[in-house]
């Protein structure tokens, strides 16, 4: 008999990474999300564009469980996770980064990533000082390489540049064995060269790790995504391949119009 995971046996192999069905979230009278339905295949990389207040971060909070849904369902690799607490979603391989940094300034880069790796490995209560061959330590070093922070391993987080801190946030999301990552505006405030670095880091992630990236810069979004969704007023407004989106007259009006003024 072939080896299949419990999820595969229950829900069938090849289930999409993420399925949103009519996802709705109200804040009082405000419909921050209204009936958002989308399906993201395993390993797919999706960009979400949209003006401030469109509901992008609320969508992330709904997927992670930080905000309960007003209506709708969410499935993660075939399993309905709509009612699961955030920690259980993390255990199933869901990760996110935040629009506002959540880093600890007084740790070094290596300690930060090491603690994240050890935290998700379930050995967080060990007081032993790790040696270089510790599994979490080896994972931490390889993640630090993946986010181009090798030369900064021993620096205090508070002394990193803004761009390096954003790279470290990606490193923390890679701790454990993520299957899907939600990146909330990782390019915000980055210089052109830091943006190129970010594109290289995201492009080189292992192919089985899918993600959604919220991104304002159309150039970055089109380069790191297989498919693009545009949100407006809590709804999906348009979806397409990077080519379709780039050549869409309405999108050109909204995005490229602003850019060349
Ligand atoms: N915790 C909250 N309480 C009340 N309103 C919120 C909350 N979070 C977001 N909103 C509102 O929901 C709408 C969508 O916000 P958000 O998802 O942060 O937009 P985006 O990330 O696309 O800029 C906005 O009108 C915002 O003010
Ligand atoms: Mg936001």
Same domain, 204 and 164: no
Asked if 153 and 137 touch (Cβ cutoff 8 Å), the reply is no
Rounded Cα distance, 87 and 230, in Å: 29
Residues 6+ apart with CB under 8 A from 42: 14, 15, 16, 17, 77, 179, 208, 210
Residues 6+ apart with CB under 8 A from 96: 60, 63, 64, 173, 181, 182, 183, 184
Q: How far is the CA of 52 from the centre of ligand 2 (A)?
A: 7
Same domain, 188 and 258: yes
Same domain, 121 and 62: no
The last residue of a domain, from among 154, 174, 194? 174
Ligand nearest to the CA of 231: 1
> Is 152 inside any structural domain?
yes
> Is 113 inside any structural domain?
yes
Q: How far is the CA of 77 from the centre of ligand 2 (A)?
A: 25
Same domain, 87 and 216: yes
Which residues are in the CB-under-5-Å shell of ion ligand 2? 56-57
Ligand 1 pocket, mutate which of 47, 55, 212, 233 (most atoms under 8 A from CB)? 55
Q: What percent of the chain has pLDDT over 70?
A: 89
CATH number of domain containing 250: 3.40.50.300
Given a cut of 80, is residue 147 above it in pLDDT? yes
Q: Which residue has the higher pLDDT, 4 or 242?
A: 242
Mean pLDDT of 84-113: 91
SS3 153: coil
Same domain, 131 and 86: no
Look at residue 1 in the predicted model and tell me its pLDDT: 41
Given a cut of 80, is residue 127 above it in pLDDT? no
Look at residue 261 in the predicted model and tell me its pLDDT: 39
SS3 79: strand
The last residue of a domain, from among 122, 145, 174? 174
- pLDDT classification of 121: cutoffs 50, 70, 90: low
Ligand nearest to the CA of 188: 2
Q: Which residue has the higher pLDDT, 254 or 127?
A: 254
Same domain, 255 and 182: yes
Look at residue 240 in the predicted model and tell me its pLDDT: 96
Look at residue 2 in the predicted model and tell me its pLDDT: 45
Report pLDDT digits (tens) over 202-229: 999 999 999 999 998 888 999 999 999 9
Asked if 87 and 62 touch (Cβ cutoff 8 Å), the reply is no
> Is 77 inside any structural domain?
yes
The last residue of a domain, from among 174, 198, 223? 174
> Is 3 inside any structural domain?
no
Look at residue 124 in the predicted model and tell me its pLDDT: 54
Q: How far is the CA of 56 from the centre of ligand 1 (A)?
A: 8
Domain carrying residue 227:
15-93+178-261
Q: How far is the CA of 131 from the centre of ligand 2 (A)?
A: 40
CB-defined site of ligand 1, < 6 Å: 27, 30, 32, 50, 52-58
Residue with tokens 């050995």: 123
β-pair type (79-80, 71-76): antiparallel
Rounded Cα distance, 205 and 193, in Å: 19
CA distances (Å), 201 to each of 12, 211, 247, in order?
A: 32, 13, 26
Residues 6+ apart with CB under 8 A from 164: 149, 152
Same domain, 133 and 186: no
Same domain, 68 and 117: no
Given a cut of 50, is residue 7 above it in pLDDT? yes
> Is 156 inside any structural domain?
yes
Same domain, 196 and 229: yes
Mean pLDDT of 78-105: 91
Rounded Cα distance, 101 and 166, in Å: 8
Burial class (CB in 10 A: 0-12, 13-18, 19+), 100: exposed
Look at residue 209 in the predicted model and tell me its pLDDT: 96
Report pLDDT digits (tens) over 173-199: 999 889 999 999 999 999 999 999 999
C-alpha closest to that of 82 among 135, 24, 43: 24
Ligand nearest to the CA of 53: 1
Mean pLDDT of 135-155: 96
Residue with tokens 């090491």: 114
Look at residue 16 in the predicted model and tell me its pLDDT: 96
- Secondary element (H or E) of residue 245: helix 242-246
Same domain, 146 and 209: no
Look at residue 189 in the predicted model and tell me its pLDDT: 92
Look at residue 105 in the predicted model and tell me its pLDDT: 84
Report pLDDT digits (tens) over 33-57: 999 999 999 999 999 999 999 999 9
**Average pLDDT of every residue of the chain:** 90
> Is 98 inside any structural domain?
no
Q: Supply 54's token pair.
A: 């469109």
Residue with tokens 């040696």: 131
Number of domains in the chain: 2
Q: How far is the CA of 64 from the centre of ligand 1 (A)?
A: 15
> Is 6 inside any structural domain?
no
Ligand 1 atom closest to Cα of residue 184:
21
> Is 248 inside any structural domain?
yes
Same domain, 159 and 202: no
């Amino acid at each position: 008999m072939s080896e299949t995971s419990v999820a595969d046996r229950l829900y069938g192999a090849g289930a999409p990474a993420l399925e949103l069905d009519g996802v709705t979230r109200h804040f009082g009278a405000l419909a921050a999300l209204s009936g958002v339905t989308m399906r993201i295949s395993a390993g797919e990389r999706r960009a979400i564009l949209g003006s401030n207040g469109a509901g992008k971060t609320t969508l992330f909070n709904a997927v992670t469980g930080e905000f309960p849904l007003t209506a709708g369902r969410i499935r993660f690799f075939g399993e309905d996770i709509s009612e699961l607490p955030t920690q259980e979603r993390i255990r199933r391989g869901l990760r996110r980064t935040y629009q506002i940094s959540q880093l600890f300034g007084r740790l070094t880069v290596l300690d930060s990533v090491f603690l994240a790796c050890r935290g998700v490995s379930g050995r967080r209560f060990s007081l032993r000082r790790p040696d270089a061959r510790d599994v979490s330590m080896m994972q931490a070093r390889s993640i630090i390489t993946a986010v181009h922070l090798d030369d900064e391993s021993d620096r205090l987080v508070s002394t990193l540049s803004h761009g390096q801190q954003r790279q470290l946030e990606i490193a923390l999301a890679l701790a454990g064995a993520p299957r899907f990552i939600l990146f909330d505006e990782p390019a915000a405030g980055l210089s052109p060269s830091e943006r190129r670095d970010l594109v290289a880091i995201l492009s080189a992630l292992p192919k089985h790790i899918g993600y959604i990236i919220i991104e304002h810069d159309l150039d970055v979004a089109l380069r790191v995504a297989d498919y693009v969704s545009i949100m407006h007023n809590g709804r999906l407004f348009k979806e397409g391949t990077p080519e379709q989106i780039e050549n869409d007259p309405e999108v050109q009006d909204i995005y490229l119009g602003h850019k060349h003024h």
